[in-house]
């Protein structure tokens, strides 16, 4: 299901962003830059979630879903304030019809 895949992708992205937030290191996680990951974070936050931004949706369209699916069982995602249900809804909110499933 596309939702599970996106949930894990977004969650893992936030984890990586939080881990290196203090560093000025350019990252590329599963085809998404740090800036693109940052764009998706508000849409999956447990507190005061927002609609995904256009930049977030654009980033999800070119993300490497096979890579992102590798993070789907991460226990760290919840500790970073990511709501898995909100993350699972990103493909439909972004109108990504053919997003692969994990």
Cβ atoms of residues 64 and 5 within 8 Å:
no
Q: Using only the alpha carbons of the chain, give its radius of gyration.
A: 12
Establish if 100 belongs to a structural domain: no
Which CATH number is 47's domain given?
1.10.110.10
More confident residue, 72 or 96: 96
Q: Poorest-confidence range of 30-34, 54-58, 68-72, 84-88?
A: 68-72
Look at the alpha carbons of 24, 38, 98, 47 in this order and tell me if their dihedral is positive or negative. Answer: positive
More confident residue, 35 or 54: 54
Confidence of residue 50 (pLDDT cuts 50, 70, 90): very high
Establish if 43 belongs to a structural domain: yes
Establish if 37 belongs to a structural domain: yes
* pTM of the predicted structure, to 2 decimals: 0.65
Total number of domains in the chain: 1
């Amino acid at each position: 299901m596309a939702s599970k895949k996106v949930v894990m992708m977004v969650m893992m992205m936030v984890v990586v962003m939080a881990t290196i937030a203090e560093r000025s290191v350019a990252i590329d996680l599963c085809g998404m830059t740090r800036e693109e990951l940052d764009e998706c974070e508000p849409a999956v936050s447990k507190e005061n979630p927002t609609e995904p931004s256009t930049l977030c949706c654009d980033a999800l369209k070119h993300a490497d879903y096979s890579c992102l699916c590798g993070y789907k069982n991460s226990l760290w995602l919840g500790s970073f304030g990511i709501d898995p249900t909100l993350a699972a809804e990103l493909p439909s909110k972004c109108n990504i019809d053919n997003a692969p499933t994990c």
